[in-house]
């Protein structure tokens, strides 16, 4: 035990903003390599998407600046996202968190934070 204050959010425990950025990079690589998901992201500016996703993952882990982008139902309107695609994205996020060293509890909490968004994001 050192003299540093104990990290008190999952955002701190996984390593703060740099760790979240690494999670987002792995997450998008896996999402874009998934044939079920790649078509949804064709033509989307991935740098812009990553920046928003970085803020969002930070929020899911319990810290970071407040998300001020478009509401989830507006951002995903008309994309025809299916329940299977939603589940696959959540699965890739969990795997990316695990790769970054997140424990099961942290992954459950992140999934719990995102799962309630399903009704706003799934439209097919």
Query: What is the contact surface with ligand HEM in residues (CB under 6 A)?
Result: 37, 40-41, 44, 49, 52-53, 56, 69-70, 75-76, 79, 81, 85-86, 89, 114, 117, 121
Closest to ligand HEM by CB, 8 vs 115, is 115
Q: Which two tokens stand for residue 1?
A: 């035990």
**Least distance from ligand HEM to the Cβ atom of residue 79, Å:** 5
Q: Which helix (H) or strand (E) holds 18?
A: helix 16-32
Closest to ligand HEM by CB, 1 vs 120, is 120
What's the N-to-C CA distance of the chain in angstroms? 50
Closest to ligand HEM by CB, 38 vs 105, is 38
Q: Say whether 101 sits in a helix, a strand or coil.
A: coil
d(Cα 40, Cα 44) in Å, to the nearest integer? Answer: 9
């Amino acid at each position: 035990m050192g003299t540093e204050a104990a990290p008190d959010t999952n955002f701190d425990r996984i390593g703060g903003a740099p760790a979240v950025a690494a999670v987002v990079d792995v997450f998008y690589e896996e999402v874009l390599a998934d044939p079920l998901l790649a078509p949804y992201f064709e033509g989307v500016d991935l740098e812009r998407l990553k920046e928003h996703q970085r803020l969002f993952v930070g929020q899911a882990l319990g810290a970071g600046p407040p998300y001020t982008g478009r509401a989830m139902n507006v951002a995903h309107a008309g994309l025809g996202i299916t329940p299977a695609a939603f589940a696959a994205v959540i699965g890739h996020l969990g795997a990316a968190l695990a790769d970054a060293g997140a424990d099961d509890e942290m992954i459950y909490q992140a999934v719990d934070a995102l799962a309630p968004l399903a009704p706003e994001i799934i439209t097919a």
